[in-house]
Amino acid sequence: MARVCEVCGKGPQMGNSVETRGKAKYLGGVGTKKTGITRRQFRPNLQRVNVALPKGGNKHMKVCVQCIRSGAIRKAVKAKPFALPTK
CATH of the domain at 65: 2.30.170
Confirm whether 52 is domain-assigned. yes
Confirm whether 79 is domain-assigned. no
Confirm whether 39 is domain-assigned. yes
pLDDT surpassing 70 at residue 1: no
Tens-digit pLDDT profile for residues 74-87: 999 888 888 888 87
How many C-beta atoms lie closer than 10 Å to residue 65's C-beta?
Answer: 13
Cβ atoms of residues 11 and 4 within 8 Å: yes
Confirm whether 80 is domain-assigned. no
Residues 6+ apart with CB under 8 A from 46: 3, 5, 62, 63, 64, 65
- Report the pLDDT averaged over residues 32-36: 95
Domain count, the chain: 1
Residue, of 84 and 42, whose pLDDT is higher: 42
> What are 76-83's contacts with CB under 8 Å, separation 24+?
76/50, 76/51, 76/52, 77/52, 78/50
Confirm whether 3 is domain-assigned. no
Confirm whether 64 is domain-assigned. yes
Confirm whether 1 is domain-assigned. no
Confirm whether 2 is domain-assigned. no
Structural domain that includes position 62: 13-70
